[in-house]
């Protein structure tokens, strides 16, 4: 019966990690071109919202355009990051 407990626990953690992934990790308004996730883009003044899953949603102030930067964690990588940061 314990093998089912392990599966249930992993599924519970997976659901928690997926909810945690959409949480905001940081918000940064700037006009820099040297951030680790922007790969030298020159968008001018921007608002970057970094989420717990690694993606960064950038809103370019002058145009209102929204783009996604960074690498989004999914699956086991997301679960590992969630467990690491929640302890």
Average per-residue pLDDT for the chain: 93
For the chain, how many structural domains are there in total?
1
The pLDDT-based confidence of 1 (bands split at 50, 70, 90) is low
pLDDT per position as a tens digit, 28-61: 999 998 888 988 889 999 999 999 999 999 999 9
Residue 6 has a pLDDT of 86
pLDDT above 90: residue 75: yes
Asked whether the whole model's pTM tops 0.95, one would answer: no
Sheet with 46-51, strands from edge to edge, namely 24-30, 46-51, 56-60, 66-69
Query: Residues 53, 82: contact at Cβ < 8 Å?
Result: no
Distance CA 79, CA 71 (A): 15
Domain extent for 59: 2-86
């Amino acid at each position: 019966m314990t093998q089912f407990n392990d599966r249930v626990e992993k599924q519970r953690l997976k659901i928690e990690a997926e909810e945690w992934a959409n949480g905001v990790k940081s918000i940064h308004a700037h006009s820099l071109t040297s951030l680790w996730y922007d790969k030298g883009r020159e968008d001018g003044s921007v608002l970057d919202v970094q989420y717990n899953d690694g993606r960064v949603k950038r809103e370019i102030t002058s145009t209102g355009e929204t783009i996604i930067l960074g690498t989004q964690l999914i699956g086991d990588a997301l679960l590992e990051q969630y467990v690491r940061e929640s302890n």
